[in-house]
Amino acid sequence: MENLSIDDSALKKNIEIVQENVRKAAQSVGRNFEDITILAATKMQNVDVINRAVSYGIAYIGENRVQELMAKYDGYNKEHISIQYIGHLQVNKVKYIVDKVDMIQSVDSMKLAAQIDKYCAKLGKIMDVLIEVNIGKEENKHGVFLEDLVQFLTDITYFKHVRVRGLMTIPPICDNIEQTRQYFSSLYKEFLDIRAKKIDNIYMDFLSMGMSGDYMCAVECGANIIRIGTALFGSRKKQEE
């Protein structure tokens, strides 16, 4: 893990800018700022930087590497944060994190759900999860295809220690923001449709979509969790220089 850092004033300013942008995007479509969670994507950020971000109002953090989460876990200011896992999770690494996170945002297979259920049963814990949707049907990305989603959700109810709380996606890289908006809007529509179906033990509370380059669009399209890294902590490349 690289020891990246950002000075206090820049970090505080970045957080304020993101918060203000989210507020404006929410207001533009009649939503409340308070209903949207800004989750800090903390890949390659050291614990000191993360804890400083928490002191400036960040209450949710997301790690996407198991080894990195484990290395940093003891240093987190855990009283004030929700720790979530947002990266692709290998089945054989589930056992290392189920006792450390509040939510796994990237469930993309029944095999993974089964492992989460197995280890959470041992802990007497019910794990909140989001189902990762491969909204663009990209071969190089993980996730459930949109047309398979309802069946996937029906099947996952078999696991008693896994609680679906919503959906998550990473859209394809697009030439312009309007193309991205189409992907976000499509998933939001599916999110609402599934909520209306009221599938037993499936809760459509959270829609996690949008990162540093498109989070305002995501908020306008219905996201209530946005995953922000660069816009908060700066470019990793610039910090390395």
Residues 149 and 48 in one domain: no
For residue 118, being part of any structural domain is answered with: yes
Closest CA to 211 of 190, 229, 235, 193: 229
The pLDDT value recorded for residue 120 is 98
The pLDDT value recorded for residue 121 is 98
Residue numbers of the chain with a pLDDT score lower than 50: 1, 3, 238-241
pTM: 0.94
Query: Where do we find the tokens 């197995």?
Result: 118
pLDDT for 62-95, tens place per residue? Answer: 999 999 999 999 999 998 899 999 999 999 999 9
Residues 179 and 116 in one domain: yes
The pLDDT value recorded for residue 188 is 98
Closest CA to 187 of 113, 109, 142, 134: 134
The pLDDT value recorded for residue 237 is 56
pLDDT for 35-52, tens place per residue? Answer: 999 999 999 999 999 999
The pLDDT value recorded for residue 1 is 46
The pLDDT value recorded for residue 236 is 65
The pLDDT value recorded for residue 90 is 97
For residue 34, being part of any structural domain is answered with: yes
For residue 39, being part of any structural domain is answered with: yes
Run of H or E including 156: helix 149-156
The pLDDT value recorded for residue 80 is 86
The CATH number given to whatever domain includes residue 169 is 3.20.20.10
Overall number of domains in the chain: 2
Domain span holding position 6: 1-85+225-241
For residue 215, being part of any structural domain is answered with: no
